[in-house]
Amino acid sequence: MRLIAIDLDGTLLNTESQISAENRAAIKKALISDCIVTICTGRATFDVKALLNDLDIPIIAANGGTVHDFNYKLLSRTLMDKEAGKKAAQYLTDHQIYFEVYTDDALLSPYDGEQKLEAELDIVTSANPNEDRDTLWQGALTQFKQFGIKPVPDIREVFNGDEHIYKLLCFSFDMEKLKLGLTSSGRHIIEILPDESGKGRALKELARHYGIEKKDIYAIGDSPNDLSMFEEAGHRVAMGNAINELKHISTFITKSNDENGVAYFINKLLENEYQ
Ligand code: CA
């Protein structure tokens, strides 16, 4: 039995945030070919469920915050410390950095988040005329299109309640604001998590659950938050659009996310053309 762990944004999803028919077909083929396929993403579980549609596979979400099996049964959860979260939320509010809070059923986002980000983008693009405003704004819109996004008047309030909190996601066009030295899933994004090993730790846990050894684990990713997942996998597949850090330690470089890189690799694997 082999375990294939696939990141979502920049990996399984194309730039329109969709799973192509080719990628979907390749996953289905892997599932009937003695493989377990799991999604390993920074997105929230309910968001992943909506994207997967009829594909019932295990899901590692919120960068390892939750692990669900084939039947959508929760195998484990790693929560963020409320006090640490509260401090981070206060810091981000004080520094006017847009952020979201991931809970069990929603992605809390401030009411005025979209407006504030747009104002920030205006400042950044007027200072850097070479930046393409539309492309940058597309990146922000991806955030607001996530399934389960819920605007609230004061996002800090959630830390006073008893909801489960998995992570904080910060988004800013002002790169200076993001120099907090934390894990990144994209150019304008940083995430504040309960522990840095996130995806890797959860993948190891899922592999143990199904009795799969490291040599039979295949991880596919593109971003810095996939590094921990690569450490737990015997086979490391970097997307054509991946960061160099991942490409350097990869065992295979596949095509880009807009060229069905996931399907390209899976088909090679199933046809014994890998290695
Ligand atoms: Ca990614």
pLDDT tens for each residue of the chain, 275 residues long: 999 999 999 999 999 999 999 999 999 999 999 999 999 999 999 999 999 998 999 999 999 999 999 999 999 999 988 888 898 898 888 888 899 999 999 999 999 999 989 999 999 999 888 889 998 998 888 888 888 999 999 999 999 999 999 999 989 898 777 765 455 566 666 677 666 668 999 999 999 999 999 999 999 999 998 999 999 999 999 999 999 999 999 999 999 999 999 999 999 999 999 87
Catalytic residue among 7, 9, 216, 222: 7
Domain housing 166: 82-192
Residues 219 and 178 in one domain: no
In a domain, 275, yes or no: no
In a domain, 262, yes or no: yes
Distance between CA 150 and CA 134 in Å, rounded?
24
* CATH assignment at residue 63: 3.40.50.1000
Residues 59 and 95 in one domain: no
Range list of H helices, the chain: 21-31, 45-52, 82-94, 113-127, 133-144, 198-209, 227-231, 244-249, 261-270
Provide the whole-model pTM: 0.88
- Cα(83) to centroid of ligand 1, in Å? 28
pLDDT of residue 182: 55
The answer to whether 257 and 10 have CB atoms below 8 angstroms apart is yes
Residues 155 and 213 in one domain: no
Distance between CA 89 and CA 95 in Å, rounded?
10
pLDDT of residue 181: 45
The pair of three-digit structure tokens given for residue 108, joined into one six-digit string: 């809390």
In a domain, 141, yes or no: yes
- Cα(160) to centroid of ligand 1, in Å? 31
pLDDT of residue 76: 93
- Cα(192) to centroid of ligand 1, in Å? 16
Last-in-domain residue among 145, 174, 192: 192
Distance between CA 47 and CA 11 in Å, rounded?
16
> Average pLDDT over the chain, rounded to whole?
91
* CATH assignment at residue 169: 3.30.1240.10
Task: Determine whether 7 is an active site residue.
Answer: yes
Last-in-domain residue among 192, 211, 228: 192
| DSSP output for 213-269 | -GGGEEEEE-SGGGHHHHHT-SEEEE-TTS-HHHHHH-SEE---GGGTHHHHHHHHH
Residues 116 and 63 in one domain: no
- Cα(7) to centroid of ligand 1, in Å? 6
pLDDT of residue 176: 77
In a domain, 91, yes or no: yes
Last-in-domain residue among 192, 210, 231: 192
- Cα(221) to centroid of ligand 1, in Å? 6
Q: How many domains does the chain have?
A: 2
